[in-house]
Structure 1
């Protein structure tokens, strides 16, 4: 058998996925002389402990050629970490020897420099692109259920998934501002006192608030008025 490694007198065909050496559940049963289905049962029972894309991969039908699976429907393949987790219950002498062979010969070789074929690179790029498109579609559908800021945020992230950049800008989130009177009420002082402390200590800056044009009392003339962020309160408390 070409491109295979002998483990426990069994020919194990080499399988790699996303640059990692992997084995099927059937491979594990074969090299360990276990009844077919043993590794699969262990996997299902302990699946909550396995991390997808780290301990195992779900291979889709369109990727069978990449891995060398025989099932037309794809299947589960496990990495070195997943394999070692699966065979924890295999404690006989043979199991220890098979583990040593798999780790030292089969998995160790996967750490050598890996070169993708053109077909493999194409499939990886296609899967990555399809994943981005699916995410963008989900975000776009979610955006239809909202209005205003939430819709803008979701639509902006959808363009990021598709293009790698925000073609639609994220909405600017304005911080709440307070009048001098409102700040004074929080501190137990007058609005005039707030203004005096702010002017003396140069607190009317972008860090502590923003300038707005408000209508002056008794006329229609607009005058610049400084409104404060809540961040100014602890500063004023220390100054009082």
Structure 2
């Protein structure tokens, strides 16, 4: 689209909006009255509001005889359309049609920006999901003894918050699990002794429990910790009874 009248940007009410220099529009419309009289009358007749529909400012213009600076106006596209329409001539109709086409272009650009931003959000989410999945994989590779359920918990904990949905379900606990401390309290022995018995008899197997990644007591690191099921508890109890 050819530029009939230059479209600029002005800050009105702390917002950047598309505007037109009123004098440029005046000259295009070929108005016969003086500019200052024309713009003042139109503002009064149609109730245009300063700092909403237009900005006014003093500007020095080249005048052979000197004199005071002229008052210039930056008007919104809506105001420019209305000023064009009320002239009721061919130039006015042409200008109004031009401004309508300019608005369509601006609206189209705005929609395109929203679409592009939507695509950018999706791209970032996809990248974050990929990074979370790779992190979960690395953690699981660091601790190969972890059970499948524990690995599933790691993946779910890293991926689901980014996805905003439970795309990886948490495994259902089908059995009660005990720490070495839990078993120690039940059998009235120390957690260290529970561990020694389990290690000496090879009780730390999938049949008797599972390795779960938990926070270390003495640091912020995650470490694999064997959790005993009911069968593991009974194996420790039996070993303790046989040793008595």
Structure of greater Rg: 2
Same fold (TM over 0.5): no
**TM-score band, normalised by the shorter chain?**
0.3 to 0.5
More helix by share: 2
**Please, what TM-score do these two structures have when normalized by structure 2?**
0.32
